[in-house]
Structure 1
Amino acid sequence: GGTSRGDRLTAVDGEAVANNTEFEAALRDSADRRVTVTRADGDQVDVDRHLLTTGVAADSPLAAIETGSVLASVNGTDVYTEAGLDEAVQNRTVATFETANGTTVTAPAGAFVTVVPDGPAANDGMPAETDAIVTSLAGERVTSRADIQAVLDGLPPGESVEVAAYVDGDRETYEVELGEQSDGSSYLGVVIAPGVSGLAVSGFGAQLYPADSFHALVSGDVSGSAAISVMLGGGEGGVAGFLQGIFAALFLPLLSLLDPTLAFNFPGFAGVNTNFYVVEGALGALPAGVTFVFANLLLWTGWINLNLAFFNCIPAFPLDGGHLLRTVAEAVTSRLPVGDRRSVTQAITTSIGLLMLASLVLMFFGPQLLN
């Protein structure tokens, strides 16, 4: 009995679920502390729920709460489910969060967002590339990504709405004219982290494997990770989207360092994580294990070659980047009124090489030297 690492759950209290989003929605709809889940093998298991911290945004005011700790109470009220957490913060824009191991943090309770440059929010006064805790939108109390999306779904593009948010600890209000997305829906111009104030929790009491997010990133869709989406300026289409996908692919093995809310790095389609993917289409006729082997071969061959290509662009000899640097330097010096152009070219390339070496040393040892 019980659930274990790598189990794929297909139903909650008899309601079928196909992915993490549906699983979490089913849990949210149930206020009971005990739920019955169905594993992929058909066995049913009763689970006593508690709120497990699955990730905390790096700059969240709740960053002192460690991933893996159990959130025990909010404002002195015991909480076991996400519905209970939502209820505990509904009427309090500032709340006290306490974990089972005694960590206590008092902070604004709302949706943790990062303002996108040149978006509607930034254009109407919210500081770009700054984190904020949005507590109300268009007069509606909001505490999570789902709350903000629900409000936006009911508003047309071009409508001005009041946004109440905590920025650098101070409560501010902004009047923002909503933008319009390609599908005609309205958007605020922020990237929203999971959870309340950037504190992502599982109402099941276990860390869910983010198969959907990894699938999106491997497919070139940076919206699979809020942190990478912010880093690259939001999801784009066309050539920009293609370049974003390539850049995101470089960080696949280190995703949890860039986006702690994912809680996992991506090792390819291997081990127990293959339980969360289904092979479809023409390759569905082959054994899943064979398809995953070929998928991993293509994935990591492409990843290694992509990294080698970027490494080869470093402007240092004998790499191609060094030859390109010398060619550019020669083209520049050929137009200068100097006699010994070769010496000038060598001086330029050597200076850039030494600057890069100094930057590398400073990157590794700078923090220790500054402290």
Structure 2
Amino acid sequence: MVDTLWLWAGALVGVTLVVFFLDRRGALPDWVEVMGPFVTLHTVAGKRLLDRFATPQRAWRVAGTAGVVGAALASLGLFALVLFAGYAVVAGRTTSPVTEPRNVLAIPGVNDFLPLAAAPAIVFGLLVGIVVHEGGHGLFCRVENIDIDSMGAVFLSAIPFGAFVDPDDESAEQAGNWAMSRVFAAGVAANVVTTVVVLVLLFGPVGGAIAAAPGAPVDGVVPGGPADVAGVDAGDRITAVDGQRVSSASGLDSALANTDGTFTLELNGDDADARRTVSVERAVTVTSVVAGDTDTGSGVFSTELAAGEVVRSVNGESVRTDAEFREALATSETVTVTTENGVESTFPAGSLGTVVADGALAEAGVSADASVVVTRFDGERVVSSADLLAALSETDPGERVSVVAYADGERRTYDVTLGGSGSGGADGVEQGVLGVRPVSGVSGLTTTDFGVSTYPTASILAHLTGESWNGSAWGVVELLVSLTLLPLAAVAGLESANFAGFSGDVANFYVVTGPLEPLGGAVFVAANLLFWSAWFNVQLAVFNCIPAYPLDGGKLLYTGVDSLRTRFEQGEAASWTAKIPMAVTGVVSLVMGVAVVLMVVAS
């Protein structure tokens, strides 16, 4: 991140110095204003264009009134949502990389979710969003016969920073609350309309021309894992395993099931320049370790066992694959794992978890918040947390089961009456609950015998082409939310990987087909521009609906309260009520500001 920051800083300083030098020499036109690193572009032609578009005033006012209603409803919903989100962060103290300071900045390469490769499309989308937003304000200024003193765009060096429409104060004051409300809501409405137009293009001809490339797309490799050692890189596509063709990630799983210890991979088989073959030797490699309290015996591993270690045997039995590793673990509750470096670790193999206070296992006698390893459930061997969850899915609340667990350094058997989940399981039916928060893997240990994570090409494409829409009205909202979350899809739990555009490694996972195939990479460029234009227009529309001054939502709140005040105000004795709109807007803005700060800082 430091290198990227220096790159951005150097580029911005360079552009700023060039612009400053040109300004000092008088080489810039009158409509360009330079103030420090900020460059303001004023436009006169834009005013004439707005006058031309504002001609059908009656139709525009009807549309503007609908925009006010929509923006007001959105502001009301966002008021509740922001309050709830702020409270949830404070109450839960949840930690999320989304709210880390660097990820609050929409700077490609600095923000973890905005890669530098996508910078041109991101800058384009931001510019479209802010110009459209301010253009909406400007259009309705002319619709309502409000004069515009100046308008233009502001850049921080070469980065779009904002746009502005400066209405004449006197004509704005004479326009009235309803007219100004339509002006304030117009920016949001313009962003919404632009989003619709952009998505029609993205869902239609552009997205329809993009398809998943053949092969299993490699999103990442486990450092030190078999695939990494063999030379498989993120961005590769596995197109064959031991000569068996692989067309997708699911095909990779079935192909690997037919292999044993050593096998060959064909990478990027349809690309003559990138095609290569590597040999992979399977080995059980530790990917993560959760250490417990070794003093009480509830701990799982010695400190020497760590991620990257290769397991060679279990209780003296050689293992090469995850399947062999699991079979060896199932033979005994307490196992000794030996790595290729000679490190030995003895521990109970099962489902590691933390006992929940007032849960079923706690009521059976296990201390709350204690670490336990469940090795048997209702007489059946439990090797991993997945086994325990699968067994619980077949139970009912109130059912009595026998549980063997290692707690406080001892193996004990508990007679447990399962609690209720309070919600449906995968099939919608309530299931029994043991009262343990399980950790993934075998006693907190996760492994891989291959070490490749695949990219969800098909499901990502379904979001970008609208195929994920279920056909309902609410489904439109869900689709917009999913599109907005794509850059942080992995964190949000939407997908297993993030999507920031068809750039970098991701571009190798897709191909252009159909009538647009001759355009090749230009289709990816168009898709990136459309995606980020839609993304920023949605963000600007939603953000500006927050009822906090000086956002459009706060201004709508002011004009709305002022309209109610003037309707019920009677005589000069009620002149003190003129302060009510500002007071209400100020209080709500303060509450919203505190909630937003808590969302960013407290998490």
Tell me the TM-score normalized by structure 1: 0.59
2:547 corresponds to which residue?
A: 315
- Give the distance between the partners of 2:333 and 2:465, measured in 1 at CA: 38
Partner residue of 2:479 out of 245, 250, 260: 245
Q: 1:325/1:275 Cα in 2 relative to 1: closer, same or farther (>3 Å)? A: same
| 1:118-133 mapped onto 2 (5 Å cutoff) | none
Partner residue of 2:594 out of 358, 361, 364: 358
- Give the distance between the partners of 1:91 and 1:327, measured in 2 at CA: 73
- Give the distance between the partners of 1:220 and 1:266, measured in 2 at CA: 15
- Give the distance between the partners of 2:518 and 2:320, measured in 1 at CA: 43
1:23 corresponds to which residue?
A: 252
Letter in 2 for 1:320: D
Letter in 2 for 1:72: V
Q: 1:325/1:8 Cα in 2 relative to 1: closer, same or farther (>3 Å)? A: same
Could you tell me how far 1:79 is from its partner in structure 2? 5.3
Work out which structure has the larger RCO, using CA pairs closer than 8 Å and 6 or more positions apart in sequence: 2
Q: Percent identity between the aligned chains?
A: 29
Letter in 1 for 2:307: S
2:263 corresponds to which residue?
A: 35
Q: 1:284/1:23 Cα in 2 relative to 1: closer, same or farther (>3 Å)? A: farther
| 1:82-161 mapped onto 2 (5 Å cutoff) | 82-90=322-330, 109=350
1:120 corresponds to which residue?
A: none
Q: 1:93/1:329 Cα in 2 relative to 1: closer, same or farther (>3 Å)? A: farther
1:204 corresponds to which residue?
A: 450
Partner-residue secondary structure (3-state), 1:9: strand
Contact 1:221 1:245 in 2 (8 A): no
- Give the distance between the partners of 2:286 and 2:494, measured in 1 at CA: 11
Letter in 1 for 2:548: A
Letter in 2 for 1:34: T
Deviations along 1:197-229, one digit per CA (max 9) or x if unpaired, are 79775532344334345335545688xxxxxxx
- Give the distance between the partners of 1:212 and 1:341, measured in 2 at CA: 58
1:344 aligns with 2:576: no
Contact 1:17 1:23 in 2 (8 A): yes
Q: 1:23/1:86 Cα in 2 relative to 1: closer, same or farther (>3 Å)? A: farther
2:505 corresponds to which residue?
A: 272
2:308 corresponds to which residue?
A: 70
Letter in 1 for 2:547: P
Contact 2:249 2:454 in 1 (8 A): yes
1:44 corresponds to which residue?
A: 277
Contact 2:549 2:589 in 1 (8 A): no
Contact 1:54 1:261 in 2 (8 A): no
Partner residue of 1:286 out of 502, 518, 526: 518
Contact 1:136 1:142 in 2 (8 A): no
Contact 2:333 2:350 in 1 (8 A): yes
Partner-residue secondary structure (3-state), 1:343: helix
Letter in 1 for 2:234: R
Q: 1:212/1:86 Cα in 2 relative to 1: closer, same or farther (>3 Å)? A: farther
Letter in 2 for 1:319: L
Contact 1:94 1:109 in 2 (8 A): no
- Give the distance between the partners of 1:315 and 1:365, measured in 2 at CA: 20
1:301 aligns with 2:529: no
Tell me the TM-score normalized by structure 2: 0.40
Could you tell me how far 1:88 is from its partner in structure 2? 4.5
Partner-residue secondary structure (3-state), 2:454: coil
Contact 1:49 1:204 in 2 (8 A): yes
- Give the distance between the partners of 1:259 and 1:357, measured in 2 at CA: 27
Could you tell me how far 1:44 is from its partner in structure 2? 3.2
Q: 1:289/1:11 Cα in 2 relative to 1: closer, same or farther (>3 Å)? A: same
Letter in 1 for 2:455: Y
- Give the distance between the partners of 2:599 and 2:265, measured in 1 at CA: 48
Q: Which runs of 5+ in 1 are unaligned?
A: 113-132, 223-234
- Give the distance between the partners of 1:355 and 1:180, measured in 2 at CA: 38
Partner residue of 2:557 out of 301, 325, 345: 325
Could you tell me how far 1:294 is from its partner in structure 2? 1.6
- Give the distance between the partners of 1:258 and 1:54, measured in 2 at CA: 22
Partner-residue secondary structure (3-state), 1:70: coil
Letter in 1 for 2:485: F
Could you tell me how far 1:313 is from its partner in structure 2? 1.0
Letter in 2 for 1:278: V
Deviations along 1:66-88, one digit per CA (max 9) or x if unpaired, are xx933634966775433234435
Contact 1:111 1:145 in 2 (8 A): no
Could you tell me how far 1:141 is from its partner in structure 2? 6.5
- Give the distance between the partners of 1:249 and 1:92, measured in 2 at CA: 48
Could you tell me how far 1:47 is from its partner in structure 2? 0.9
Contact 2:547 2:553 in 1 (8 A): yes
Letter in 2 for 1:38: E
Partner-residue secondary structure (3-state), 2:310: strand
2:460 corresponds to which residue?
A: 214
- Give the distance between the partners of 2:517 and 2:266, measured in 1 at CA: 27
- Give the distance between the partners of 2:425 and 2:602, measured in 1 at CA: 44
- Give the distance between the partners of 2:324 and 2:595, measured in 1 at CA: 50
Q: 1:345/1:363 Cα in 2 relative to 1: closer, same or farther (>3 Å)? A: same
Could you tell me how far 1:110 is from its partner in structure 2? 5.9
- Give the distance between the partners of 2:520 and 2:581, measured in 1 at CA: 56
Partner-residue secondary structure (3-state), 1:278: strand
Letter in 2 for 1:204: F
CA root-mean-square deviation: 5.6
Q: 1:321/1:269 Cα in 2 relative to 1: closer, same or farther (>3 Å)? A: same
Q: 1:335/1:292 Cα in 2 relative to 1: closer, same or farther (>3 Å)? A: same
- Give the distance between the partners of 1:352 and 1:100, measured in 2 at CA: 62
Partner residue of 1:254 out of 477, 488, 499: 488
Q: Which runs of 5+ in 2 are unaligned?
A: 1-229, 270-274, 291-298, 354-372, 408-413, 432-437
